[in-house]
Amino acid sequence: MALAEARGVKKAKVLPVSAPFHSPLMRPARERLAPLLADAAFGAPAPPVVTNIDAAPALTGEAARNALARQVDGPVRWTESIQWMVGEGVEAFVEVGPGNVLTGLGRRIEKDARWFALPKPEALDKLLAEI
């Protein structure tokens, strides 16, 4: 962080994560995951899954398998993924799981979309009532 700030970075922050996800430091994990994915059966995602590594949908099982491996150590193209989906007519997004980080990021990208965080199963009834 000190080196980044010395080079003119306006803000540097330690992220509270357990591993250096989506960075080249994760290459060994990708290499260990690849044979496991190769042995797994993959069908075409239905509905298609927009992958953050490509900012486009995986339309085949092979494309989904490939994207899963590459996104372990590849960059996240979150903004482009959201923009692609909005361009395809998506108007609402639901974040499933604890927290609402992605919902907050998404609201900054696409203010006109509807954003929902679903942190617990009990929140589903409230979500369904809102949509």
CA 6 to chain centroid, in Å, comes to 31
Q: Which pLDDT value is given to residue 99?
A: 85
Domain count, the chain: 2
Predicted confidence band of residue 34 (pLDDT cuts 50, 70, 90): very high
Instruction: Evaluate if residue 60 carries a pLDDT over 90.
Output: yes
93 neighbors 50 (Cβ within 8 angstroms): no
Evaluate whether 54 touches 77 at the Cβ level (below 8 Å). yes
Say what the pTM is.
Answer: 0.81
Q: What is the pLDDT of residue 106?
A: 95
- Find the domain containing 112 and state its range: 91-131
- Bond from prior residue into 47 cis (ω within 30 degrees of 0): yes
38 is a domain residue: yes
pLDDT at 75: 94
Per the domain annotation, does 101 fall within a domain? yes
Beta-carbon contacts of residue 32 (< 8 Å; ≥ 6 apart) = none
In this structure, is residue 73 part of a structural domain?
Answer: yes
